[in-house]
Amino acid sequence: MKPYLKSLLFLAVAGAFALPWLSPPVYFVSLLFVVFMYVVLAESWVLIGGFAGYLSFGHGAFLGIGAYTTALLMNHFHLSPLYVLVSALPAGAAAACVAAVIGYPALRLRGPYFALITLCFAFVMELAVKNLDFLGGPEGLWLKAMGIEVGLARGIFFEVMLVLMLVTVLVVRRVESSRFGAGLKAIKEDEEVAQTLCVDTPRVKLSAFILSAFFPGVAGGLYAYYLSYIHPETVFNIDISILIVLMALFGGGSSYVGPIVGAISLSLVNELLSAFLKAEYARVIYGLLFVVLILYLPDGVISFFRGRKSGAG
């Protein structure tokens, strides 16, 4: 990376950390919070979907599992606000456990079949949570207020989500250049060949899936506190799962930069379109965006810049 880019990046991160304390409009803080969350989701999706080529269409479910775990922990153990942030970690662990149980059988399937089984998993989770009374059923769950001033609470959540985002990006970046990442990419190229070359494919795939479920779980925990009211249709919504995939593919799923670009640009485009246009027009343009992208930049937005530099896509 060029030095000026590095310092620019550093400035951007420092600016983001400082933002909530400069009394900006609340709207920006909330918008950026959600954008950061999507970066976390898309970035962790890339571990399994981008590197290994296993398209998980159910990653939104891990967000929901994290959110519900946190809500239950908070309502049953009456955690004080300080522990609250720490307790997002068990939410991540819960999501990772579910991922292990689901992933073990599901990762034996390939291609569209894996995509489909994860999609069904997300659907079943949403419907099941909606129908289980101890999870609040169709009425959702209220989380107790944190007892601190709202603006301050938002600021704290903003910072924590920002940290989570940075950690996720760094972890994925680390994985990309590691042996583990090389194994995942080998699986994407040709699973049989990878296996003959002594890549323990089932283990590698499963660990990638579990790792990629952990971060959405933590993000879900934070999101639950942030919303303070969770409902199956907000945290288990199937659209979130699909959006994660689209964001990662939009940016380019084969490197850690793609999902950052994809998540930020798609959420901002969506926000701008729906701010200035009638909802239906906004959605039509949004849909056309995908069509145009696939027709002209099938390897994601970042391939545009890559292509310029190296002279080849």
Partner 1 sequence: MARRGRFRPRRVPSRTGDRNVTGILVLQSVISGLMIGAIYGLLGVGFSLVWGAMKVINIAHAAFAVLGAYLAYFLLKAFGVDPVLGFFVILPFLFFGGMVVYRFLIFPVMRARDIVVSSMVLTFGCAIVIENFISLIGSPDPRVFTTRYTGRAFFLGPFAFQWPQTVGALMALAGMAVLYVFLKKTHTGKALRASWQQPEAARLYGINLRRISMIAFGLAVASAGLGGIAMGFVYSFDPHTHNLWLIYIFLVVILGGVGNVLGTALAGLLIGLLNGLSLAFFPYQWVNVITFGMLILILLVRPAGLFRSEV
Residues that bind partner 1 (CB under 8 A): 55, 105-106, 108-109, 111-113, 115-117, 119-121, 123-124, 126-128, 130-131, 238, 242, 246, 249, 279-281, 283-284, 286-291, 293-295, 298
Between 17 and 286, CB nearer to partner 1: 286
Tokens representing 30 are 């909330």
* Whether the Cβ atoms of residue 75 and residue 288 lie closer than 8 Å to each other: no
* 141: β partners: 230
Smallest CA-to-CA distance from 121 within 70, 69, 64 is with 64
Q: How far is the CB of 149 from partner 1 (least distance, A)?
A: 38
* Closer residue to partner 1 (CB): 228 or 237: 237
Query: How many other β-carbons are positioned within 10 Å of the β-carbon of residue 135?
Result: 17
In our burial notation (b when 16+ CB lie closer than 10 A, e otherwise), range 250-270 reads: bbbbbbbbbbbbbbbbbbeeb
Q: Provide the minimum distance between the beta carbon of 283 and partner 1 in the complex, in angstroms, as a whole number.
A: 4
**Residue 66 to residue 168: CA distance in whole angstroms:** 16
Q: Which is nearer to partner 1, 154 or 188 (CB)?
A: 188
| Cβ-proximal residues to 200 (8 Å cutoff; 6+ apart), any chain | 183
Minimum CB distance to partner 1 smaller for 32 or for 266: 266
Q: How far is the CB of 138 from partner 1 (least distance, A)?
A: 8
3-state secondary structure of 55: coil
Helix (H, G, I), strand (E, B) or coil at 231: coil
Residues 240, 38 contacting (CB under 8 angstroms): no
* CB nearer to partner 1: pick between 120 and 170: 120
Q: CB of residue 66 vs partner 1: minimum separation in angstroms?
A: 21
Per DSSP, helices labelled H in the chain are 3-18, 26-45, 59-77, 81-86, 88-106, 111-131, 150-176, 179-189, 191-196, 201-227, 232-235, 238-251, 257-276, 279-296, 302-310
Query: Least distance to partner 1 from the beta carbon of 121, Å?
Result: 7
Tell the smallest beta-carbon distance from residue 147 to partner 1 (Å): 36
Nearest CB to partner 1, comparing residues 119 and 143: 119
The token duo for 202 is 């089932």
Taking the complex as a whole, the smallest distance from the CB of residue 113 to partner 1 amounts, in Å, to 5
Q: Output the smallest distance, CB 109 to partner 1, in A.
A: 6
131 vs 178, which CB is nearer to partner 1? 131
Nearer to partner 1, 111 or 202 (CB): 111
**How many residues belong to the chain?**
313
The encoded tokens of residue 210 equal 């579990």
